[in-house]
Amino acid sequence: MNVITFFLVGLTVHVVFFLSIFDIYFTSPLVHGMTPHATSLAPPAHRLFLIVADGLRADSFFTPLPNGASRAPFLRSVIEEQGTWGVSHTRVPTESRPGHVAVIAGFYEDVSAVAKGWKENPVEFDSVFNESRNTWAWGSPDVVPIFTKGAHRDNMHGKTFGPEELNFASVDASRLDNWAITEFKSFLQMANSNPKLKAKLLKDKIIFFFNLMGIDTNGHAHRPKSHRYLNNIRVVDSHIADLVSVVDDFFGHDGKTAYVFTADHGMTDWGSHGAGHPSETLTPLVVWGAGVEKAHRVTEPQPYSDGFLKEWNLEHIRRVDVNQADITPLMASLIGVPFPLNSVGVLPHLYLNNSGWFKAESMYTNVMQILEQFKIKMAQKKDTTLSCLFIPFKPLTESKQAEFIHKVRMLILMEKYEEAISLCQTFMSQALEGLRYYHTYDRFFLGCCVVLGFVGWALYVSLVILKTHASLERSARVLKKTVVIPSPTLMKLFIGVMVGMTGFLLIQRSPITYYVYCLLPIPLWYFVLEEFGHLIDLIRSAGSLPLWKCFGYFVLVACGIELLVVSFFHRSFLTVGLAALSLWPFLTGLFGNAKFRSLSWFVGCLFLAIFPMMPVVGRAPNTHLVSYAGLLTLISSACYLWSSRQKAPLRLSDRCQFAIQMVQVAVCAFIPFITHSSLQKHQGLPLLNQIISWTTLASSLLFPLLSSTRLFHRLLSIFLSFISTYLLLSNGSEALFPPALSWVMFVWINIEQEALIAEGAAHRQELLSMDFSANIDIGQIRQLKLDDIRRSFYFVFFLITAFFGTGNIASINSFDPTSVYCFITVYKPYIMGALLMWKVFIPFIIVMCTFETIQVATQLSSRSLFLIVMVISDIMALHFFFMVQDYGSWLDIGTSISHYVIVMSMTIFLMVLSIITHIFTSKRLIPWRRQKSHFT
């Protein structure tokens, strides 16, 4: 297999493996074709007001002030007199679609939406808005369109404010809430003069939705403990009191209005959401009005052990907690619309103030709606599975379904409503379990196919490495003993297996992607067995290798891979790894020949080991540390240029460029301090700072290409360019990470030269005289040695350290939105996300450029080292493939996806980034004159 074919096959294999988890774990659980179900009895309410205070924490809302008063006096009076309250337990919010989907549609974040944005629906879904006669909504341009685009009928009417209003630098974001209520009042005034519109409003099954963004925006900008965030709660409360008064006047106090107040998610103390902390997953729920149970006073202890009742001074009022999706059937029951077809919520009947008959009928409707989904799911799987292989969900056979329906109807006829409700709750849990059973029916089979593909590819790459890049001595006597299966026979065997698998998939009417996952391992294993003879040869000739050294490297890599896997979950293990790496020169004898470099490596690794121990989030911004990082960069750069001035003199143009870059670093070191000071004074983002920031970002891609291509001169230019941008994207101690990482990388390059001599290299070229753009003599490219496995592992280790050294990119919660304030303060999720990802990639690029340098300095083929890295990353990917999950909180789901994606992307991305790195290191733009030599 030639190089181009190998590259294309490798890329295809990894793309298929990368996409496989979305078919195996993350196909949409939603089904269509169900019959809508609604309670036959008359509903208590004609209209419902759903008020979602985005980003409102339960503790911030319920906790009284030190003087015993409430931040939300109107809603507090509702809790104590007019309605029912509780805590809504949310799933962790995401950057794609928030908890509004759970509240309004009744199902949690569709996991197939992992690659979608805020405003896009990957699949069509039903909601209470679709089932209503008419719904009017006011709120954010990132939330309201989710439901207007997904509406089945022309019954959804939305109005949003401009996206530029979501500005984190604004003085007070509560104006967003003022906008929503003011727009609603204007809407009612218009209805008074528009008989057709008023007639619509006076009908039943009407929903009004308010997405109040002020609290969330103030929380991101000023933190949830700030005066603005807490005062915004009071503002929302006063608006709701005003809203209720206006509504009563408009509808003539007819007593047919129900209100639901809740939040889509909470927020951490540092102003973000994405983790599983109670401050994010516990949100308030207050329901009152038509059909809602009034405040129920209790004297006995309530069944909650979290201590919140005492803290909130609400021990005397009954608390009814719900899961967030349970709000959907509650709203549907109150206004009498069919339960949304895809809802998995369970009706919290304790919120209803109605007859036992109505509650039992509503619970029965809830069961039938979930049972409809179960039947469709079972029929779909039965149609695509051979009857002899189909295994039904035994707890919920057709006979048991009929028995349940008969029993519940009899209990309702006998007016045993409590028993009927209890039976419905038990049956619903079984139906939800059955839905999951059929949704994951093919998972084991597909997982086995992908694992076979993983193992086959890793074995084949290992054989290629040993066959073409390693120098193992094989005697003629060993070769004669090797027994090889004839190629024609092997080919016929594998063609037969492929035809048989294809026929099986055709009979099962499997999706086209199943063919890819099931057939891909077959040619991979054919290539492995085709090289089987070489594998036997290599095993038999292993005696020519130093066995203890081989065993040592095997233990190093095996333990190292496990350490890296664990570090994805616990960053502190990177500290353990760095501490172990710091001892490398002392354990291998390099210290005797390179004392200063060995000590520098030891100190650098230990200093770098501090960063994984530091908290990812929750740190108070400290722009002084950003300035210190800039100063450290300038001092270290100046020291290097001064020390190398004689061995590697610079031309005037290069000196001027380095001077410009160092001035740029100095400016960027103070821009964050000036910007944050301006924002704290509510003066907004200074235009000059914004211009400098975006100019620095653009120029960071150009400056390295203008510098000398000598090894360390080009690396210094790359470092200065990217550190400038990194400083602008920092707001604390993380700004010190790139200088520390760069120092370790600089020492690594130097100490690898000493390791090369220790391996027996005849001579070495002076690093200061090496040039990236010089043509490499093919004759000097050496074969792989055991020590190159260590180099490859170090590379993977430092890549993971670059990713997780100052954060956890598997969680949105790892990033502080204030990091991008030098560039933008208006809420633009894609631009902000791109800037934060670039911040992550900067240390990554530093490591990539270092590895490119080591390949040049050690005269080793980049392909051979890349193959070793590929095997290591594939072994890690196989670990994470088994850890991927689609249950639990969205944080658990998102983290498991992210871990697998990071490792799989490592190989795919390295293929592309190695080309970019080669351009950054070896290419030079000289617009004012022609290049005459490599050392210009």
| Cα 395 off chain centre by | 36
Rounded CA-CA distance 482/585 in Å is 41
Sign of CA dihedral 855, 856, 859, 863: positive
What does the radius of gyration of the chain's CA atoms come to, in whole angstroms? Answer: 32
Only one residue has tokens 């697998």, namely 900
Residues 6+ apart with CB under 8 A from 782: 859, 860
- Measured CA distances, 854 to 574, 589, 620, 751, 769 (Å): 22, 20, 38, 10, 14
* pLDDT for res 135: 95
**Which residues are within 8 A (CB) of 799 and not within 5 positions of it... i.e. 6 or more apart?**
844, 847, 848, 906
Contact 29, 439 (CB under 8 A): yes
Query: Angle at CA 193, nearest 5°, toward 191 and 199?
Result: 50
Q: Which residues contact 721 (CB under 8 A, 6 or more apart)?
A: 661, 699, 700, 701, 703, 704
- Give the Cα separation of 194 and 185 in Å (integer): 14
Closest CA relative to residue 78, chosen from 286, 319, 331: 286
Contact between residue 364 and residue 408 where contact means Cβ atoms under 8 Å apart: yes
Residues 6+ apart with CB under 8 A from 555: none
Contact 46, 257 (CB under 8 A): yes
pLDDT confidence of residue 290: 96
Give average pLDDT by consecutive 10-residue segment, the chain, 936 residues: 71 83 75 86 96 93 92 96 94 61 83 49 76 93 78 80 75 87 95 93 96 90 88 96 96 95 88 72 94 92 90 94 95 95 92 94 94 92 85 90 93 94 93 90 87 88 75 48 63 89 88 89 87 68 63 79 85 90 87 86 93 71 89 91 78 86 94 90 86 93 84 88 93 89 92 77 64 57 73 88 70 63 83 85 88 81 75 84 68 68 74 74 68 42
Cβ 466 vs Cβ 538: under 8 Å: yes
Nearest to 889 by CA among 257, 75, 94, 41: 94
What pTM was computed for the model?
0.76
Structure tokens at 394: 């035994």
Per-residue CA distances from 162 to 685, 816, 867 (Å): 19, 24, 50
Structure tokens at 558: 């095996």
Q: Tell me the one-letter amino acid at 501.
A: M
The H or E element spanning position 282 is strand 282-289
By CB neighbour count within 10 A (0-12 exposed, 13-18 middle, 19+ buried), where does 876 fall?
A: buried
For residues 870 and 876, the answer to whether their CB atoms sit within 8 Å is no
Q: Which tokens in the block code for residue 745?
A: 């990388």
- Among all chains, which residue has been given the structure tokens 């209720």? 244
Distance CA 229, CA 168 (A): 12
380 CB burial (10 A radius; 0-12, 13-18, 19+): middle
φ, ψ of residue 288 to 5 degrees: the values are -155, 170
Please name the residues in contact with 394: beta carbons below 8 A apart, sequence gap of 6 or more.
none
**What whole-number distance in Å separates Cα of residue 140 and Cα of residue 491?**
60
What is the pLDDT, as a whole number, of residue 117?
Answer: 44
Residue 376 CA to residue 675 CA, distance in Å, equals 57
Amino acid at 841: F
Centre a 10 Å sphere on the Cβ of residue 198 and count the other Cβ atoms it contains. Answer: 14
Query: Who's near 92: CB < 8 A, 6+ residues apart?
Result: 265, 273, 274, 275, 276, 280, 281, 889, 890, 891, 894
The H or E element spanning position 76 is helix 73-77
Question: Quick check: 218 and 173 in contact, CB under 8 A?
Answer: yes
Sign of the C-alpha dihedral computed for residues 480, 483, 488 and 490 taken in this order = negative
Beta bridge partners, 86, equal 285
Which residues on neighbouring strands pair with residue 135, listed in sequence order?
156, 207
Closest CA to 116 of 91, 96, 140: 96
Q: What is the distance between the alpha carbons of residues 238 and 99, in angstroms, rounded to a whole number? A: 24
Side chain identity, residue 574: L
